[in-house]
């Protein structure tokens, strides 16, 4: 097998998802993933540090796109508009991976270790967005609140979106969730 | 040493905090904690499963009190009032442990493993509050949003409270944080 494998990363991800879904995450080895993808273990480790990270590969890109959306918002944007911009960026990314999102979600829910990893990724994402919001002039408290509001709305919306039989766009569901949060906050 | 040690748990907690602060969390052993407390390792393990849990012992009680506040809120309470009731319960608990809160906070911030543990505890707390809110008649989305709003406001407020030179009460800071979140959500 040559050193260069077109789409090796995507093949490894698909193979890992399929095996985790069939046999369970704990029971699947890196060797089995590589074999299913028609690649070697060595190639696997060129792309991923371990079998857990296969499931979180997209989260760095997601985070960068959400932070970029905050950075690119107009100078006049309110904190709420920054929140909306970050959620719109997440929506674009989620629609791109909708095909695998449900299976990935079930695999993560099946493992304590994977759920922990997801919490850590969400906290890192919130910290990165809070940093971007501080650069945009928000104080520490407002920046943290807005960033955590994004991850809260994203998390709650994702649960609906991933199991929605009508395949409603993430963006629309996120707006409804944000509206519901606003209604809760606005109550007397 | 006899089997029954009055205040053994509190003595072990104080000894652990002191040693983690002096030497670092990673570098401290259970044997050293027990020795500092004038107790045995065996006694330590009667009270705590490991040296990590010493730092999180109070979180179960905190969670129960926050859930109880939601359960005890009047039938007419809005989601926002439920959020406020849960935060008030947290405030009572935090003021009781203010003496140790700053040191504990610094120790947790110093260790990746402890920060992970804290995220997991916060997620479990949010899930418990969401369950209590569903019992109170809230739909899944509203219950999750309100519960995550509590943990968000609690987290952001805690950062201020623990480093506040004026020792402003947690309850007052939490109300200010919640007001700031409401202002963010209310903006057009």
The CA-atom distances, in angstroms, between B172 and each of A72, B84, B169, B177 are 35, 11, 6, 9
Q: What is the pLDDT of residues A62-121, one digit of tens each?
A: 999 999 999 999 989 999 999 999 999 999 999 999 989 999 999 999 999 899 999 999
Average the pLDDT over B14-37 and give the result: 96
| Cα A131 from Cα A151, distance rounded (Å) | 14
CA distance to partner chain B, nearest, from residue A100 (Å): 23
pLDDT-based confidence at residue B3 (cuts at 50, 70, 90) = low
ipTM of the complex: 0.88
Contact with chain B for residue A69, Cβ under 8 A: no
Q: How many other CB atoms are there within 10 angstroms of residue A18's CB atom?
A: 16
| Cα A102 from Cα A90, distance rounded (Å) | 16
pTM value?
0.91
Report the pLDDT value the prediction gives residue B5, as an integer from 0 to 100. Answer: 65
Average the pLDDT over B81-89 and give the result: 97
| Cα A98 from Cα B10, distance rounded (Å) | 50
pLDDT over 90 at B1, yes or no: no
Q: Rounded to the nearest 10 degrees, what angle do helices A112-135 and A57-72 cross at?
A: 20
Window 122-141 of B, Cβ < 8 Å to A: 123, 140-141
CA distance to partner chain A, nearest, from residue B78 (Å): 7
Asked if A138 and A80 touch (Cβ cutoff 8 Å), the reply is no
| Residues A158, A160, A162, A168, CA torsion sign | negative
| Cα A177 from Cα A174, distance rounded (Å) | 5
Report the pLDDT value the prediction gives residue A175, as an integer from 0 to 100. Answer: 96
Contact with chain A for residue B184, Cβ under 8 A: yes
| DSSP states of B153-185 | HHHHHHHHHHT-TT---HHHHHHHHHHHHHHHH
| Cα B44 from Cα A130, distance rounded (Å) | 40
Q: What is the pLDDT of residues B126-143, one digit of tens each?
A: 999 999 999 999 999 999
Report the pLDDT value the prediction gives residue A5, as an integer from 0 to 100. Answer: 65
Average the pLDDT over A156-176 and give the result: 95
| Cα A76 from Cα B104, distance rounded (Å) | 40
| HSE-CB for A139 with a 13 A CA cutoff | 8
CA distance to partner chain B, nearest, from residue A148 (Å): 6
Mean per-residue pLDDT of chain A: 93
What lies within 8 Å, CB to CB, of A90 at 6+ separation is A62, A65, A66, A150, A154, A170, A174
| DSSP states of A118-170 | HHHHHHHHHHHHHHHHHHTT--HHHHHHHHHHHHHHHHHHHHHHHT-TT---H
Share of chain B above pLDDT 70, in %: 96
Contact A152 B156 (CB under 8 A): no
From chain A, the residues in CB contact with B137 under 8 A are none
Average the pLDDT over A126-141 and give the result: 96
Report the pLDDT value the prediction gives residue B44, as an integer from 0 to 100. Answer: 96
Share of chain A above pLDDT 90, in %: 88
pLDDT over 60 at A3, yes or no: no
């Amino acid at each position: 097998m040559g050193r260069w494998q077109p789409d090796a990363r995507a093949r490894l991800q698909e193979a890992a998802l399929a095996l985790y879904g069939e046999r369970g995450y704990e029971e699947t080895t890196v060797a089995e993933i590589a074999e299913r993808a028609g690649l070697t273990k060595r190639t696997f480790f060129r792309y991923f540090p371990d079998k857990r990270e296969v499931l979180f590969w997209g989260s760095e890109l997601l985070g960068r796109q959400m932070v970029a959306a905050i950075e690119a918002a107009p100078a006049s944007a309110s904190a709420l508009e920054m929140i909306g911009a970050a959620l719109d960026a997440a929506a674009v990314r989620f629609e791109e991976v909708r095909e695998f999102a449900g299976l990935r979600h079930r695999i993560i829910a099946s493992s304590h270790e994977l759920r922990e990893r997801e919490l850590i990724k969400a906290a890192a994402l919130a910290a990165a967005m809070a940093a971007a919001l501080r650069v945009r002039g928000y104080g520490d408290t407002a920046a943290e609140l807005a960033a955590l509001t994004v991850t809260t709305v994203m998390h709650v919306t994702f649960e609906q979106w991933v199991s929605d039989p009508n395949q409603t766009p993430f963006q629309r569901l996120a707006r409804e969730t944000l509206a519901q949060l606003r209604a809760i906050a606005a109550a007397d």
